[in-house]
Structure formats: C-alpha cells, structure tokens
Structure 1
Amino acid sequence: MTPPALAQDTRTRLLESAILHFAAKGFDGTGIREIAKSANANSALVAYHFCGKEGLYLEALKAIFARKVSPVALLKDLPPAGSPGARKAALKGFQDYIRAFFTEIMSCGSDPVDEAAMILVGREMQAPRTASSALLMEHLKPYVVYLTNCLQILRPDLNEDELFTMGVSIQGLVIHFRNSIGIIRLIRGNPAYPEDLDRIIQHHIDFSLRGLGVPEAFPQPRTQPCS
C-alpha cells in the first residue's frame, strides 16, 4: 500500500507535469505517458488519481486556480449603487481592481510552473473546452462581477450590452499587455521591461478611466480669479 504522503507527492508531481505539458502542447497534443514520465511516475497512476486524461486536465486547472489567493478576491465590497459615497467607493474600487488584476497576471516570476499555468489558462480562455467551461466560469465570475459593479456605478447611463463591451475592453488592455510582453520587450530593446510596473499599472488605470469618461478621476486645478 502506498503511504499517504508519498501518494500525495506523486499526485503533485503529476499535476505540475500536466500543467507544463498541457500549456506547451494543449490537451489533444499531450499524452498521458509523457506527463507520467516527466513526473517520474507510472502512467497507470493517472487513471488511479484522476480517472484518466480528462480528469487530470480538470484537476490541473483546479490546482492552478488554488495555487494563489487572487488579490481581486480580497477587494472590499462596494456599497449599493445610489447610496452615499457609492461613486467615490466605485472609483477607488475600479483603481484597486486594475491594480490587483494587473499584479496577479504579471506575478509569475521565474517559476516555470507558474508561467505554464498562465499560458494554460490563457489557452483555455481562448478556446474553452466543454468539460472545463463550468470550472472556468466559476473562477472568472468574481472578476466579472466586481468590475461590472464598478462600471454600473461609474456609468449608470450604460445598458447591459454597453457595460459588457466596456468591461471586455478594459480587461483586454491588461491581458494584451501580459500576452504581448515578449514582443514589447523586443521592441523596447529591454528584456527587463517594465522595471517600474506601478507606472504601467497607473497608465492603464488612467487610460481606462479617461475612456470611461469619469471626470472626477482627473480634477482640474482651480484657476485664480482675475484681479
């Protein structure tokens, strides 16, 4: 009988190997044997621990979503629309959301599994598999809800479709920056870019707020009356 600690270690190795291989080759291009070989495990253990390749893929996604607490999940709830201070809170909430989301997707560092996890989730978002769609939506729902709540308060004149399009545009700016970081660094001729991530984040915040048309985000200096 396999000791529990050893079984858990094997399971973890299989999951990390699966994340690396699925990110590199996708679901269809990845075989169970190569995952098991990289994890130094018997391929039969994939069926034992995960009930096959599909189960392993789903558990790999679950492991990715559980690797770190999302900073977006820690954001303070917004007050109801129309209540005192709601607009001010929504403005701060919007800025905090962009900062949290940007920081999260740029925080892979040098860990190859973290980088592969980001690639795999990006691949899944581009072409969600039927079996994993519900899991993906469960993970993304807090992001969509929080950003939409901010937008509803800041732009109450927008209808549902307009709010959706605005939200997609704002999210897309951040995701595009992350997905294009390689070519951006090549264009800049700087493999370490951006050294000042806070400045880039603030640019995205300001750019999005100007696009939203939120005048109080950019208060104008008072002019001195003519003497």
Structure 2
Amino acid sequence: MTPAFSQDTRTRLIESAILHFAAKGFDGAGIREIAKGAHANSALVAYHFCGKEGLYLEALKHIFTRKACHVAALAAVPAPGTPGAREAAIQGLKDHIRAFMEDLISTDRSDPVEEAAMVLMAREMQAPRPAAAPLLLEQIQPYIDHLVACLRVLRPDLSADDLLNMGLSIQGPLIHFRNSLGIIRLIRGNPDYPEDLSELVRHLTEFSLRGLGIPEAFPQPRS
C-alpha cells in the first residue's frame, strides 16, 4: 500500500525516512532513495536536517510526538510505608501493563508509515545509536519510573538492580508480544488477534503478579 504522505516537503521527507530506515536500517537507507520516496530533491535533506543523522533523529522525534504515552498519564504511586501504598501499587501495576499494551498495540495497521514506525522503534531499542540515546531514554523514562515505583512498594526487599531486573522481566513479554505479533497470529491462525486486548492484559498481569509473589492479588480458594 502506498502511504498518503503529507503535502509539506519536510514532513514527507520524515515519513519517507521512517519507511526506509525501518526497512534497511540507518546504514542501508540512502538519502537519495529517501528523497525520491518523498518526491523531493535530495539536497533538501541537508537543508532541513543538516544531513542523514539529523533526519534520523527527526524521524524518531516525529514518531514519539505522534505516539500516545498512556503510562505517563497514570496516577503516581504512593511512597513505601504510606497507608494504602501496597493496594495502590497492585492497582498501579495492573494499570501499567494495560497502558503499556495500549501504547504498543495502538497502531493503524492500514498506515504503512505507522507500521514502519513500530519496526524502527524496535530496531532502535535493540541497538540504540549514540546520537539517539538521550532522546530514547527521555521517552522511556516514564515507563521506568512508574513501574519501579510500583515494584519498590511491592518488593521492598529488592535492591535497585533487582528492581530493574524485575521490571525488565515484566516488560519483556509485553515488548516480545508486540515485536512477534506476526508469528503469534500465524501460530493462532488468526490475523486479527488480539481482538480483545483486555483478556491478554489480564493474562499478562496475572503472570507478572504471580512472578512477583503477590498472593493477595488473587482470590484465595475456600478450604
């Protein structure tokens, strides 16, 4: 499907860059082919972005600007020891997983640029470019801060390193699900999976809470 590029030349270059960087990576994508895809003169890359590296950074900024961050809108978790903090942290973790999955899945599959944006983000997460590292850290900081705040209340016995490891263990399956969505749909024989995101979120939340060892999060069987 041919993407419906913007009428603005600068934006067209960014959208074309997202498609080409996602498909070929930074080194594989050429300025001329990006400009050609945007129906623009390649000299405009230097004019608007000071070169290929600048265009790459602007492509990432464009993605972040367009992408909602539901996690950033979640309520703050009370400090450890505060009355009701544990209950709030359990609810906070549930909300975090739901919001994180909404952020990962909320992509218009009919828009090639949006799909390419998710591919480019996955590529950048795996091997961040030095110039893009500060921008990337700025964008993921709300996810780290909120999740660690929940875990600090739920598992006060863990060190700072262990809290980060536990957070990675929770977020890892969520990111893997999004990055492997194509093969997951093939395995299930369902190109529209997941139709009901809430059921998937329920499973991931229960899996995470059990891994954390939070028994009060689940109904206890009657004796």
How would you bin the TM-score normalised by the shorter chain?
over 0.9
Unaligned runs of 5+ in 1: 1-6
Cα distance in 1 for residues equivalent to 2:183 and 2:120: 19
TM-score by length of 2: 0.94
**RMSD (CA atoms):** 1.4
Structure 1 counterpart of 2:69: 70
1:160-186 superposed Cα distances (whole Å, 9 cap, x missing partner): 221111111111010111111111111
Amino acid at match of 1:112: P
Structure 2 counterpart of 1:26: 25
TM-score by length of 1: 0.92
Cα distance in 2 for residues equivalent to 1:29 and 1:121: 16
Amino acid at match of 2:45: V
Cα distance in 1 for residues equivalent to 2:194 and 2:77: 31
Residues 75/127 of structure 1: CA separation in 2 closer, same or farther (3 Å cut)? same
1:21-80 superposed Cα distances (whole Å, 9 cap, x missing partner): 100100000001111111111111111110000000001101111003311111111111
Query: Post-superposition shift, 1:109?
Result: 2.6
Cα distance in 2 for residues equivalent to 1:86 and 1:33: 55
Unaligned runs of 5+ in 2: 1-5
Larger-gyration structure (1/2): 1
Amino acid at match of 1:211: G
Identity of aligned residues (%): 68
Structure 1 counterpart of 2:95: 96
Cα distance in 2 for residues equivalent to 1:15 and 1:72: 26
Query: Post-superposition shift, 1:95?
Result: 0.5
Structure 1 counterpart of 2:3: none
Trace 1:79-158 onto structure 2 (pairs within 5 A).
79-110=78-109, 111-158=111-158
Amino acid at match of 2:77: L
Structure 2 counterpart of 1:195: 195
Structure 2 counterpart of 1:50: 49
Which segments of structure 1 move beyond 6 Å, counting only runs of 4 or more? none
Deviates more, 1:98-107 or 1:193-202: 193-202
- For 2:190, what is the secondary structure of its paired residue? coil
- For 2:89, what is the secondary structure of its paired residue? helix
Amino acid at match of 1:136: L
Cα distance in 2 for residues equivalent to 1:92 and 1:194: 23
